[in-house]
Structures are given as structure tokens and as C-alpha cells.
């Protein structure tokens, strides 16, 4: 491999990881945007998504479904199913855990979020066990050599799924009435209530979308690594949170950029330095960023509010 | 049209409205005067559902408002332009105005109203695509009022619309208030500028520490020695 090829290979690998980070980071940033809460349970919603997808994949290969269903159809159904399940769970968490204390001091909500994270993590452990679970991958092992760089079908699926979701989100937020209400609610909740905007419903919708995106991230994570464990959500959640802060928390394009940048840096770091250190990079980036650019790369909104 | 009877309200454990009674009749401009901290803003927030009613009753066209959410009240025809404008700075002027009509479904009529408020405040039409945060204070106040009008309110609550504005803009705001009233909108106005507001209002109330201490026609209030001393500079 020439140095350029190696570089491009790490880029491709990093982009895959980055796309997954971006999907999770979007939820952190959107939820922070509307209620200024770091939803510590978000990493667990990602895990819920991964486990629901796993369950659906297992059902579809062992269950009553006729074989001969194309792999992408299976994935589509599993993805949508896991997004729906996590979306509903996210809405329920907002309704029953966060809404009652929305006007309480910020610390109460943070502690509730941490408690919710523990609760979900343990629930997943009880349901699925504490050991690693193999995640069967229905995607064929097709790969292409492009100028000496290997790209797998798996990677294409990750890019396509996350790309479509992110473009869809951008369209929703920027050019629909619901999206306009979401942006407005993120700026001034009380003023929105005075305009007749049903802010509770807008906030719930934000949780549904954020959680569903995390769930898709969870499924792609499972497919990418081949095994999942109930506590994977912790590290992935922290990294995606780093990505959200990197892009400027509360800023939607920022979360996408932050996720991709973090994934790329990790990919390059793993390739050129040592893969054992890759988790350190993420947090080194967070620390350095908070020191020198506390408002994030895209420079809007705040880390000092968090 | 709007009636407050012995209304009590407050924040946390403290009450700051101690039995407010007042009335706004259809077609009127009613002004609420009072020193800082008298409870004028709280009175408006109690009417629009942002502060809970603890005692007494608020009725609007025969409907009791207690316990209703702010968003529902907009549907009933009450629009509240809050203290400090509260425009959405990172949305465009057009988007701010469209959100004012959030609950409405009559697209054609919304477009007509958009043209109407732009005629009332021409500066908004020129800047439609700009972020609202780029407007000056006076222009933001115009946007806030225009946004309130986009809901097609029967009753418009205005909280200190002229606060901090240059004299020329103050005149523009008061002219606009008068014009809205002539076009059929009833107004409850909270103002520091007692002189200008008593000129355009029909009736007024004076609040002191959460109580109504004077209620009269605007003309008679303007002649009242207490009002003159406290709010009209002698
Ligand atoms: N959010 C709040 N929390 C606690 N007390 C408040 C709040 N807003 C206003 N107050 C208090 O309520 C009283 C009435 O305030 P307000 O209605 O804003 O008066 P005004 O609008 O006439 O200046 C004041 O004593 C003020 O300190
Ligand atoms: Mg006030």
C-alpha cells in the first residue's frame, strides 16, 4: 500500500465510524437544543436500538418469514422497527421522567437522566444478558477495490443510511412547519407557547426523532462490529456527546460535522498511531476543544451552559 | 369581553397579585399603569396562561380561563406580545410572522394578513428574509406586534411596547396601536409612557403592589392629581 492509499483507507474507515457518531450526536444536540438537557440516557437508547435490531434480525432469519427476502429488505424492516421502538421509548422517557421536572433546577434533570441511563442499561442486561451477543449480518460480503482502497458493501450501507437520514432531517428542520416550530422552540420556549405552538408536543417529537436516529446508529454499530454488549452504549454515548460538543451543542449541522470529524480523526489515529489509543483521542479532542473553542467548531451556542 | 374578578397569582410561594378586578370591553383600548413591580406583567401573564390563577376568576367572552394552557388561549383569540419582545432572533422575519399564525389553517387568509401587517409596519416587508436578530429594538417591537396580529386575535395584550424606543418609533408604535383598534381589535396595554397611552386609551387602571388603586376613563385619569404626580411628571 502506498502512503496515499493507506490514508484513503483510513479515511473510508473513519467516515464509517463518523457517520454512526453523527447519527447519535444529532439526538444529543436536538434534545439539548429544545430543553437544554444533556440526555445521559441517549447512549442507552442507542443500545436499545441495537438490541431491538438484533432481535428483529434473529427473528427474520429463524422465524416464520419465507427465505428469499432480499437482504436490504430485511435491514430496512429491522432498521425501521428499531427506530420506531426507540422513538416510542424516547417519547415515554420525556413524558414521564423529564417533563415533570422541566421547570426544576437543571441539576435535578441531569441526575434524572443519569438515573435513567443506569435503569436502561440494567434493563438491557437483564433482558439480553451480560455477555457479548453476536450480531448476524445479512449484508453480503461484497467489496470493491477503488484505486487500491477497499470499500465494502457494509460501509456503503452505513453511508447511505446515515446520509439519507441526515438529509431528511435537514429538510424537515429547514423547510417544514414542524421544523420551523422545532427551531423556534429551541430559541424561546415561553415565547412559542404564547404563539400557540404546542411546545410539549414539539419537545416530544424531538425526543422521538433523536432516539430513532440513535437506534439506527445502534443497528449500524452492531452490523459494523459484529457483536454488541449492554454497556457499549456508555462509550459510544460519550463519544457522540463529544462529537455534539465538537460541532457546537444545539447546532444540528454541527453534530453531523462533529461526528464525521471525530470518526475521521479516530480512523486516522488508529491507522497511523495505535488503535489502542483511539478512545483517548476522542476525549483528548474534547478537553482541547473545551479549552480553546468552548462554543464548538461551528461556533454557535454553548458548552458553558451544559 | 375580558373580566378579571379578585384575581390572585404569584411566583413560587409569594403572591404578587392580591385580588385584581378589571374589565376590558369589546372595541376598547384599556391601559394598565403602575410603577415597576406593581404586577402589570404578572396580570398579563395570568390572562394568557403563563402564570397560574390562584384565586378569583378570569373570563373571556363568557369562558372561564383558569387552568388553560397558553397555546389554547391563542386559539380562543387572545394574543400576548410579551415584555421584552421575545422575537425569535435566529429565525427570519418571515418565519417569525408565519409562526404567529401557527394554529391557523386558512392559508389564503394568512397570506392576506401577512400583507396587512407588512403594510402596518413597512420595514418588515423590506427585511422579510433577514434574521430577526438583525433588527433594531424598535423594529423588533414592530415584529413582535405584527407576529401577535398574525394569530388574528380578538384581544391583544401588549406589555410595554414603547420601552426603550427612540421618540420617533414610540410615535409609530402608538399610531399602529390606534390603527389596530380602529380596525376592530380590542387592546389591553401596559405602558410606562402614561402620557401617550392615556391619549389613545378609552379607560385605564392604576396598579400598586398587586392591587387596583384607581379605575377611570382615560380622560379623567389624565386629570387625576395622583396620576399626574406619579406618572405624568407632576
Ligand atoms: N419570574 C418571577 N419570579 C418571582 N418573582 C417575580 C417574577 N416576575 C416578577 N416577580 C415579582 O412580582 C412582582 C410583580 O412583577 P411584575 O408583574 O413584573 O411587575 P411590573 O410588570 O408591573 O413591573 C414584583 O415584585 C416582581 O419582583
Ligand atoms: Mg413589567
Residues A100-129: pLDDT tens digits?
Answer: 999 889 899 999 999 999 999 999 999 999
A288 close to B (CB below 8 A): no
B72 and B158 inside one domain:
yes
B148 and B158 inside one domain:
no
Last residue of a domain, one of B135, B152, B169: B152
Count of structural domains, chain B: 2
* B82 within a domain of the structure (yes/no): no
Asked whether residue A136 carries a pLDDT value surpassing 80, the answer given is yes
Give the number of the atom of ligand 1 that is nearest the alpha carbon of residue B210.
14
User: Which ligand has the nearest atom to the CA of B33?
Assistant: 1
> Which of A196, A254, A299 would you mutate first to test chain B, the one with the most B CBs within 10 A?
A196
Last residue of a domain, one of B124, B152, B180: B152
The model's pTM: 0.91
pLDDT at site A66:
61
| pLDDT, tens digit (0-9, with 9 covering 90-100), for A26-46 | 999 999 999 999 999 999 999
Give the number of the atom of ligand 1 that is nearest the alpha carbon of residue B43.
17
User: Residue B233: in which H helix or E strand, if any?
Assistant: none
Mean pLDDT of B77-101: 96
User: Model confidence at B196, in pLDDT bands (50, 70, 90)?
Assistant: very high
CB A201 within 8 A of CB A12: no
User: Model confidence at A300, in pLDDT bands (50, 70, 90)?
Assistant: low
CB B150 within 8 A of CB B98: yes
B65 and B3 inside one domain:
yes
A13 conformational bin, left if phi > 0, alpha if psi -120 to 50, beta if neither:
alpha
CATH number at residue B22: 3.40.50.300
Asked whether residue A242 carries a pLDDT value surpassing 60, the answer given is yes
Judge: A196–B80 Cβ closer than 8 Å, yes or no: no
Of all residues in chain B, what percent carry a pLDDT higher than 70? 100
**Whose CA is closest to atom 12 on ligand 1?**
B16
> How far, in Å, CA of B145 to CA of B150, rounded?
9
Give the number of the atom of ligand 1 that is nearest the alpha carbon of residue B160.
21
Asked whether residue A297 carries a pLDDT value surpassing 80, the answer given is no
* B140 within a domain of the structure (yes/no): yes
Of all residues in chain A, what percent carry a pLDDT higher than 70? 95
b/e map A159-194, b = 16+ CB within 10 Å: bebbeebbeebeeebeeeeebbbbbbbbbbbebbbb
B1 and B72 inside one domain:
yes
B181 and B125 inside one domain:
no
pLDDT at site A185:
95
pLDDT at site B234:
61
B175 and B104 inside one domain:
no
Structural domains of chain A, ranges and CATH numbers in brackets: 12-292 (1.10.3470)
A148 conformational bin, left if phi > 0, alpha if psi -120 to 50, beta if neither:
left
DSSP string, A46-103: HHHHHHHHHHHHHHHHHSSSPTT--HHHHHHHHHHHHHHHHHHHHHHHIIIIIGGGTT
B55 and B168 inside one domain:
yes
Q: Does B234 or B135 have the greater pLDDT score? A: B135
pLDDT at site A305:
37
> How far, in Å, CA of B102 to CA of A178, rounded?
10
B169 and B223 inside one domain:
yes
> How far, in Å, CA of B138 to CA of B87, rounded?
12
| Three-state secondary structure call for residue B22 | strand
Domain extent at residue B132: 87-152
Residue at grid coordinates 401577512: B114
> How far, in Å, CA of B109 to CA of A259, rounded?
44
B138 and B167 inside one domain:
no
Of all residues in chain A, what percent carry a pLDDT higher than 90? 75
pLDDT at site A299:
63
User: Model confidence at B216, in pLDDT bands (50, 70, 90)?
Assistant: very high
Angle formed by the axes of helices A199-225 and A71-93, to 10°? 140
| pLDDT, tens digit (0-9, with 9 covering 90-100), for A262-285 | 999 888 888 788 777 777 877 887
Ligand 1 pocket test: pick from B10, B38, B189, B194 the residue with the most ligand atoms within 8 Å of its Cβ. Answer: B38
Asked whether residue A25 carries a pLDDT value surpassing 60, the answer given is yes
> How far, in Å, CA of B30 to CA of B46, rounded?
17
User: Which ligand has the nearest atom to the CA of B42?
Assistant: 1
B88 close to A (CB below 8 A): yes
Mean pLDDT of A227-241: 95
Mean pLDDT of B192-219: 95
| pLDDT, tens digit (0-9, with 9 covering 90-100), for B21-68 | 999 999 999 999 999 999 999 999 999 999 999 999 999 999 999 889
B20 and B106 inside one domain:
no
pLDDT at site B231:
85
> How far, in Å, CA of B151 to CA of A195, rounded?
8
| pLDDT, tens digit (0-9, with 9 covering 90-100), for B55-84 | 999 999 999 998 898 889 999 999 999 999
pLDDT at site B197:
95
Query: Residue B188 pairs with which residues in a beta bridge?
Result: B30, B157
Of all residues in chain B, what percent carry a pLDDT higher than 90? 91
ipTM value for the complex: 0.91
* B182 within a domain of the structure (yes/no): yes
User: Model confidence at A304, in pLDDT bands (50, 70, 90)?
Assistant: very low
> How far, in Å, CA of A303 to CA of A296, rounded?
8
Burial of A138 (0-12, 13-18, 19+ CB in 10 A): middle
| pLDDT, tens digit (0-9, with 9 covering 90-100), for A179-206 | 999 999 999 999 999 999 999 999 999 9
**Whose CA is closest to atom 3 on ligand 1?**
B11
* B119 within a domain of the structure (yes/no): yes
When the pLDDT of each residue in chain B is averaged and rounded to a whole number, the result is 94
Q: Does A64 or B176 have the greater pLDDT score? A: B176
Is B49 close to ligand 1, i.e. is its CB under 6 Å away? no
Ion ligand 2 residues within 5 Å by Cβ: B 41, 83
pLDDT at site B58:
96
B192 and B232 inside one domain:
yes
B3 and B71 inside one domain:
yes
Amino acid at each position: 500500500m502506498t502512503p496515499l492509499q493507506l490514508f484513503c483507507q483510513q479515511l473510508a474507515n473513519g467516515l464509517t465510524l463518523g457517520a454512526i457518531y453523527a447519527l447519535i450526536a444529532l439526538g444529543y444536540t436536538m434534545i439539548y437544543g429544545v430543553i437544554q438537557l444533556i440526555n445521559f440516557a441517549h447512549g442507552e437508547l442507542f443500545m436499545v436500538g441495537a438490541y431491538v435490531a438484533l432481535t428483529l434480525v434473529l427473528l427474520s432469519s429463524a422465524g416464520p418469514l419465507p427465505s428469499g427476502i432480499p437482504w436490504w429488505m430485511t435491514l430496512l424492516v429491522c432498521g425501521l422497527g428499531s427506530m420506531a421502538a426507540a422513538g416510542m421509548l424516547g417519547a415515554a422517557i420525556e413524558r414521564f421522567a423529564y417533563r415533570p421536572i422541566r421547570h426544576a433546577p437543571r441539576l435535578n434533570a441531569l441526575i434524572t437522566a443519569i438515573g435513567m441511563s443506569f435503569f436502561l442499561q440494567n434493563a438491557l442486561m437483564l433482558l439480553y444478558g451480560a455477555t457479548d451477543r453476536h450480531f448476524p449480518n445479512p449484508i453480503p460480503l461484497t467489496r470493491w477495490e477503488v484505486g487500491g482502497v477497499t470499500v465494502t458493501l457494509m460501509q456503503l450501507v452505513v453511508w447511505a443510511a446515515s446520509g439519507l437520514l441526515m438529509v431528511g432531517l435537514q429538510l424537515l428542520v429547514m423547510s417544514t412547519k414542524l421544523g420551523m416550530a422545532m427551531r423556534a422552540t429551541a430559541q424561546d420556549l415561553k415565547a412559542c407557547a404564547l404563539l400557540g405552538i404546542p411546545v410539549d408536543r414539539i419537545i416530544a417529537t424531538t425526543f422521538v426523532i433523536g432516539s430513532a436516529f440513535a437506534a439506527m446508529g445502534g443497528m449500524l454499530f452492531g452490523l459494523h462490529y459484529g457483536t454488541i454488549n449492554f454497556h457499549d452504549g456508555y462509550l459510544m454515548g460519550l463519544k457522540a456527546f463529544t462529537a455534539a460538543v465538537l460541532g457546537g451543542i444545539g447546532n444540528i449541522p454541527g453534530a453531523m460535522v462533529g461526528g464525521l470529524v471525530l470518526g475521521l480523526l479516530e480512523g486516522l489515529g488508529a491507522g497511523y498511531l495505535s488503535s489502542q489509543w483511539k478512545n483517548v483521542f476522542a476525549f483528548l479532542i474534547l478537553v482541547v476543544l473545551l479549552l480553546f473553542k468552548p462554543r464548538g467548531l461551528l461556533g454557535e451556542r454553548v458548552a458553558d451552559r451544559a | 369581553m375580558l373580566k378579571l374578578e379578585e384575581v390572585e397569582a404569584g411566583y413560587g410561594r409569594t403572591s404578587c397579585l392580591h385580588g385584581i378586578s378589571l374589565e376590558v370591553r369589546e372595541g376598547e383600548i384599556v391601559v394598565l399603569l403602575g410603577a415597576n413591580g406593581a404586577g402589570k406583567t404578572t396580570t398579563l401573564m395570568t390572562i394568557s396562561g403563563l402564570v397560574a390563577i390562584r384565586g378569583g376568576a378570569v373570563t373571556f367572552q363568557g369562558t372561564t380561563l383558569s387552568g388553560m394552557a397558553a397555546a389554547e388561549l391563542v386559539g380562543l383569540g387572545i394574543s400576548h406580545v410579551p415584555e421584552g419582545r421575545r422575537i425569535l432572533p435566529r429565525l427570519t422575519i418571515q418565519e417569525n410572522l408565519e409562526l404567529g399564525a401557527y394554529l391557523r389553517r386558512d392559508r389564503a387568509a394568512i397570506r392576506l394578513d401577512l400583507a396587512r401587517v407588512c403594510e402596518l409596519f413597512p420595514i418588515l416587508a423590506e427585511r422579510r428574509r433577514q434574521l430577526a436578530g438583525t433588527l433594531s429594538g424598535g423594529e423588533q417591537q414592530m415584529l413582535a406586534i405584527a407576529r401577535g396580529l398574525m394569530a388574528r386575535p380578538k384581544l391583544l395584550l401588549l406589555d410595554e411596547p414603547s420601552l426603550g424606543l427612540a421618540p420617533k418609533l414610540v410615535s409609530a408604535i402608538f399610531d399602529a396601536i390606534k390603527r389596530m383598534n380602529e380596525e376592530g381589535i380590542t387592546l389591553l396595554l401596559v405602558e410606562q409612557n402614561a402620557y401617550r397611552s392615556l391619549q389613545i386609551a378609552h379607560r385605564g387602571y392604576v396598579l400598586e403592589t398587586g392591587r387596583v388603586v384607581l379605575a377611570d376613563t382615560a380622560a379623567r385619569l389624565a386629570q387625576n392629581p395622583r396620576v399626574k404626580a406619579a406618572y405624568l411628571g407632576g
